[in-house]
């Protein structure tokens, strides 16, 4: 019997939703789904695949862990794959898990009992120790290959650089990097005062800090670490017999282990422990948990139970319900971003939710505030669920004063930073400050200008830029290039060497090509790819500045939104003044023409999977430098797809459409053949 069309369509939709949510969670650190919503969609897909095995594709989210590692960091293969966990949302599902395990290994399971641990809501990492010394630290990545972030992990004081006592010659210690509620709240309060957007939650802030290319940023964030498992080369057996002994040994080596762990002789003891954690202990913790982990205590039985798909049979997550609290909405404040977007957020009467003291919540946009009829002074419901930022669900009308109700909220009509009249944007419910020289926009814009993907000015951090602005040394991007070392040494935290280093880094950035400068200018909707497309098409800043909106829209790969935004930006007198100043200071206002060749001229290429030697970024540069264009999706217009390991739905789509697929070696051969032909 074939698969019903509605089941196939639903499975495809679920795979797409879960893949997108997984990338947002693990790679972008900007989750759009709550943990519970993700789990429910995941479970629905599992059920469909169990009912119709033909729906279980190799790229299904049920068949892997996490998301592809970012190409910006070096990759590292784990000794043993880092697994995920199945979920039990209630005691009945936990009992069903025990029953399944008992059928496989018998009553010995209950005899050896269980170990219960807190499920920390952080970022999973792996620490490799060689002869007791920390040699490499990585993120989870896709479960098999992670991102090497050793230097950043060394900044976390909880992580010992050398294990105490005797340890195996090579061992990976797995655990969770997290951020305490108190540290997270202090950091967010400081960001609000500085006009920076608040972090979504402690998990995102921790994960984002781990993947910073500047270890000083990681060190400045209040990161902590708890360990919970180990792995040995060749999947060898560890020198202990139980999960409890494993945790005790971690502690003896100097690895922090989460509190409130317990041994349970029966499932009833597990239930009692979990109820106490969820309803009493969680409120007392200074870090986020979204449940508990129940593990079979015997490591021998763990090995016998093994793994099914992405989940170990010997462990399961006992998930807790999200928390909701009631408090007063004290104020609705706004901050201004680099593109002029005015972003509202809620100031709340401090309320404890799931152990966190919540004072701030984002409100997304002004139309949402109106839709929910949120009024300053209202009692409101606030939700803080797992990885989602605290959000105001809505007001509690029955608690609103019937005699003297709060007045409806009126959005600002002038910029709080520069007093310029605000304008409505294309995005729903958004307001914008149009003043290119608004102080808040300038601060955020300079941070973006100096970032790695733009001008890549090392050492020019957010706090440094703020310091330079407050000292009156910097007003816009052009003024950065007027800085002198003798001016910097007069400021706090600057010595001769650091001042000279920063001035040199700024000077070096003048050599960045037009595409990097365009991206750094922070033109709304112009990301790295759009900046490259525009720079390569027009060649010079002058040609782009003089282009009409129609000229820009005629560029392949530039849509209407980008075209309008770019044309409007260059019409702004302040923007034109900035370009002239940058030109006078010697920045590169042209895109170097590729001297490598045109082997792929006019070709539309998609890259999927992990390539043997090239990172995704390197492969894209190779294609573009030979005249090709890299897109994210496979269509009938795609000329060929470069396929690496663990290629997913894009490979299947290419096969369905009859699009040619090649490997990295063939891509290099095509480019090399063209080079030889040109040389000959």
The pLDDT score that the predictor gives to residue 59 is 60
Same domain for 90 and 162, yes or no, is yes
pLDDT score for 20: 76
End position of a domain, from candidates 584, 614, 643: 584
Residue 314 sits in the same domain as residue 272? yes
Those residues whose C-beta lies under 8 Å from the C-beta of residue 291, and which sit 6 or more positions away, are: 87, 119, 317, 318, 319, 320
Q: Is 532 a catalytic residue?
A: no
- Residue 566: per-residue pLDDT: 94
By residue range, what is the domain housing residue 664?
604-679
At a CB cut-off of 8 Å and minimum separation 6, what does 409 contact?
A: 332, 369, 370, 374, 375, 376
Confidence (pLDDT) at 231: 92
Degrees, nearest 5: CA angle 325-331-334: 115
* CATH number (domain holding residue 612): 3.40.50.10190
pTM over 0.85: no
Tokens read off for 350 = 């401090």
What is the maximal distance between C-alpha atoms in the chain?
89
The predicted pLDDT at position 675 comes to 40
What are the angstrom distances between the C-alpha of 194 and each of 189, 242, 337, 443? 9, 49, 12, 10
Same domain, 489 and 456: yes
pLDDT digits (tens, 9 = 90+) for 384-437: 654 457 888 788 877 888 888 899 999 999 999 999 999 987 666 789 998 888
| 45 assigned to some structural domain | yes
Q: Which of 423-435 are b and which e, b meaning 16 or more Cβ less than 10 Å from the residue's Cβ?
A: eebeeebbbbbeb
C-beta of residue 360 within 8 angstroms of C-beta of residue 347: yes
Identify the active-site residue in 75, 119, 319, 383. Answer: 119
User: For residue range 16-27, what is the model confidence (pLDDT) as tens digits?
Assistant: 888 777 656 644
Q: What CATH number is given to the structural domain containing 334?
A: 2.40.50.140
Q: CA-CA distance, 616 to 621, in Å (whole number)?
A: 9
**Does residue 579 share a domain with residue 548?**
yes
* Residue 507 resides in a domain: yes
Number of domains, the chain: 6
Q: Are 208 and 29 in contact (CB under 8 A)?
A: yes
Residues 85, 234, single domain; the answer is yes
Q: Which two tokens stand for residue 671?
A: 């480019």
pLDDT for 192 equals 58
What is the enclosing helix (H) or strand (E) of 666? helix 664-679
Compute mean pLDDT per 10 residues along the chain, 680 residues long, and list them: 80 82 58 71 84 76 55 78 87 93 87 93 92 91 86 87 90 93 77 61 78 78 92 86 95 92 95 91 83 94 86 91 82 89 92 78 86 89 67 81 88 94 81 88 91 90 90 93 94 90 95 94 87 88 92 83 92 93 95 69 86 81 81 85 84 88 88 47
Please give the pLDDT value at position 653: 86
- Cα distance from N-terminal residue to C-terminal residue, the chain: 59
Query: What would the pLDDT profile of 313-369 be if each residue is shown by its tens digit?
Result: 999 999 887 667 789 999 999 989 888 889 899 999 998 776 678 899 888 889 888
In a domain, 404, yes or no: no
What's the DSSP call for residue 274?
H
Q: Count other Cβ atoms within 10 Å, centred on residue 210.
A: 25
């Amino acid at each position: 019997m074939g698969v019903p069309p509605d089941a196939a369509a639903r499975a495809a939709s679920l795979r797409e939703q879960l893949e997108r949510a997984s990338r947002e969670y693990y790679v972008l650190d900007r989750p759009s789904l709550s943990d519970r919503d993700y789990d429910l969609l995941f479970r629905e897909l599992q059920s469909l695949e169990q009912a119709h095995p033909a729906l279980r594709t190799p790229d299904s989210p049920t068949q892997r862990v996490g998301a592809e590692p970012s190409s910006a960091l070096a990759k590292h293969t784990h000794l043993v794959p880092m697994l995920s966990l199945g979920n039990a949302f209630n005691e009945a599902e936990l009992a069903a898990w025990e029953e399944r395990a008992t059928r496989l290994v018998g009553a010995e399971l209950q005899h050896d009992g269980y170990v219960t641990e807190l499920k920390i809501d952080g970022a999973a990492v792996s620490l490799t120790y060689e002869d007791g010394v920390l040699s490499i630290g990585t993120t989870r990545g896709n479960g098999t290959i992670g991102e090497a972030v050793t230097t950043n992990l060394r900044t976390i004081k909880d992580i010992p650089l050398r294990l105490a006592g005797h340890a195996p010659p090579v061992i990976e210690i797995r655990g969770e990097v997290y951020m305490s509620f108190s540290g997270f709240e202090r950091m967010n309060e400081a960001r609000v005062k500085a006009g920076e957007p608040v972090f979504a939650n402690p998990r995102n802030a921790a994960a984002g800090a781990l993947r910073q290319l500047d270890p000083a940023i990681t060190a400045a964030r209040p990161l902590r670490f708890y360990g919970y498992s180990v792995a040995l080369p060749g999947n060898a057996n560890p020198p202990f017999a139980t999960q409890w002994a494993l945790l005790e040994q971690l502690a003896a080596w100097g690895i922090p282990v989460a509190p409130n762990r317990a041994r349970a002789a029966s499932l009833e003891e597990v239930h009692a422990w979990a109820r106490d954690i969820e309803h009493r202990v969680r409120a007392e913790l200074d870090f986020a948990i979204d449940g508990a982990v129940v593990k079979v205590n015997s490591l021998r039985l763990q090995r016998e139970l093994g793994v099914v798909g992405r989940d170990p049979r010997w462990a399961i997550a006992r998930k807790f319900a999200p928390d909701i609290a009631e408090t007063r909405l004290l104020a609705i404040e706004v901050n201004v971003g680099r593109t002029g977007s005015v972003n509202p957020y809620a100031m709340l009467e401090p309320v404890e939710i799931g152990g966190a003291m919540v004072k701030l919540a984002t409100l997304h946009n002004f139309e949402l505030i109106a839709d929910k009829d949120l009024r300053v002074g209202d009692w409101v419901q606030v939700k803080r669920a797992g990885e989602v930022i605290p959000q105001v669900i809505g007001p509690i009308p029955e608690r609103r004063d019937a005699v003297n109700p709060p007045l409806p909220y009126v959005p600002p009509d002038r910029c709080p930073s520069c007093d310029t009249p605000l304008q409505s944007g294309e995005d729903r419910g958004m307001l914008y400050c149009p003043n290119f020289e608004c102080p808040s926009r300038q601060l955020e814009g300079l941070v973006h200008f100096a970032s790695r993907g733009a001008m890549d000015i090392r050492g020019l951090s957010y706090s440094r830029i703020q310091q330079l602005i407050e000292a009156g040394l910097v007003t816009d991007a052009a003024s950065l290039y007027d800085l002198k070392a003798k001016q910097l040494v007069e400021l706090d935290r600057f010595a001769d060497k650091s001042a000279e280093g920063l001035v040199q880094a700024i000077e070096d950035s003048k050599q960045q090509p037009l595409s990097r400068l365009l991206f750094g200018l922070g033109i709304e909707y112009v990301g790295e790819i759009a900046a490259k497309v525009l720079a390569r098409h027009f060649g010079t800043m002058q040609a782009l500045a003089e282009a009409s909106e129609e000229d820009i829209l005629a560029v392949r790969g530039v849509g209407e939104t980008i075209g309008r935004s770019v044309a409007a930006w260059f019409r702004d007198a302040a923007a034109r003044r900035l370009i002239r100043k940058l030109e006078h200071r010697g920045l590169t206002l042209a895109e170097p023409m590729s001297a490598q060749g045109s082997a792929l001229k006019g070709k539309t290429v998609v890259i999927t999977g992990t390539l043997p030697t090239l990172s995704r970024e390197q492969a894209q540069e190779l294609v573009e430098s030979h005249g090709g264009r890299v897109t994210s999706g496979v269509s009938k217009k795609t000329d060929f797809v470069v396929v690496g390991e663990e290629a997913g739905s894009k490979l299947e789509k290419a096969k369905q459409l009859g699009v040619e697929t090649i490997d990295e070696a063939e891509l290099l051969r095509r480019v090399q053949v063209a080079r030889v032909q040109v040389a000959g």
